[in-house]
């Protein structure tokens, strides 16, 4: 797996600095146990190790002009994503075929693929979901990461953790993990600011424009 250290650290910081307020779970949480820290250390690595993955994403208030929602395929090795996003308030949102990297956003129009500005800065967060190596479990246990309890989401009972803060700033990013240690949801502490769910679907075929921009996929 290619190492994307040049951008992965910055994007992960963006994930950890998201703020919000949680409800229905412990506000303060509990320090991680040894088993919890070891499991949490594997979550992002396990997700990326599965290869191309599919996520559902929503960001922003449902009635806001900067609201986005859709389904994306992620290539964690190359740091690229593609799929369909609905942009704008629910009910009148415009659905677009998109492809993007941390630094480039493309929309398909009648005239072909056009570079434009991403509709939400939250989209960059998707590239922090996976990691090419496990975290350091000992450092996680020594950090301010916390176990918040269990909660229901999409028909599953999940263990919920608060991610450690970045650069000393308070964080509310939550990681929702199933009994097998798989990440099932990441959010910014609420159901509105940002919610990402990895889903068990077949990845969409890679969009050729990505190969023109960054080179063909490995293999």
Residue 214 lies inside a defined structural domain of this protein = no
Q: Is the pLDDT of residue 219 over 50?
A: no
Q: CATH number of the domain that 70 lies in? A: 2.50.20
Choose among 45, 43, 42, 73: nearest CA to 217: 73
Residue 217 lies inside a defined structural domain of this protein = no
Domain count for the chain:
1
Q: Is the pLDDT of residue 138 over 70?
A: yes
Residue 91 lies inside a defined structural domain of this protein = yes
Identify any residues that bridge with 159 across adjacent strands, giving them in sequence order: 150, 177
% residues pLDDT > 70 (the chain): 84
Residue 206 lies inside a defined structural domain of this protein = no
Residue 6: per-residue pLDDT = 35
Sequence-ordered list of residues with C-beta below 8 angstroms from that of 121, at least 6 positions apart, any chain: 14
User: What does the pLDDT average to over 69-74?
Assistant: 97
Rounded-to-integer distance, Cα 59 and Cα 64, Å = 10
Residue 208 lies inside a defined structural domain of this protein = no
Residue 120 lies inside a defined structural domain of this protein = yes
User: What does the pLDDT average to over 27-32?
Assistant: 93
Rounded-to-integer distance, Cα 133 and Cα 141, Å = 17
Residue 188 lies inside a defined structural domain of this protein = yes
The whole model's pTM is what?
A: 0.87
- Domain extent for 39: 5-200
pLDDT tens digit sequence for 97-132: 999 999 899 999 999 999 999 999 889 999 999 999
Residue 64 lies inside a defined structural domain of this protein = yes
């Amino acid at each position: 797996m290619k190492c994307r250290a040049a951008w992965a650290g910055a994007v992960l910081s963006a994930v950890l600095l998201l703020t919000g307020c949680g409800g229905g779970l412990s506000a303060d949480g509990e320090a991680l146990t040894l088993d919890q820290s070891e499991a949490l250390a594997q979550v992002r690595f396990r997700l990326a190790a599965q290869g191309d993955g599919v996520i559902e994403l929503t960001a922003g208030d449902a009635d806001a002009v900067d609201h986005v929602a859709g389904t994306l395929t992620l290539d964690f090795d190359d740091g690229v994503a593609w799929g369909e996003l609905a942009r704008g308030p629910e009910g009148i949102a415009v659905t677009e075929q998109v492809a993007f990297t941390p630094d480039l956003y493309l929309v398909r129009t009648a005239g072909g693929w056009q570079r434009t500005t991403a509709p939400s800065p939250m989209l960059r967060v998707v590239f922090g979901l996976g990691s090419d190596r496990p975290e350091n479990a000992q450092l996680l246990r020594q950090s301010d990461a916390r176990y918040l309890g269990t909660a229901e989401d999409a028909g599953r009972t999940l263990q919920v953790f608060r991610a450690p803060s970045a650069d000393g700033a308070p964080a509310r990013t939550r990681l929702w993990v199933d009994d097998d240690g798989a990440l099932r949801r990441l959010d910014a502490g609420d159901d509105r600011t940002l919610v990402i769910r990895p889903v068990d679907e077949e990845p969409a075929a890679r969009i050729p424009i990505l190969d023109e921009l960054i080179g063909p996929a490995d293999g």
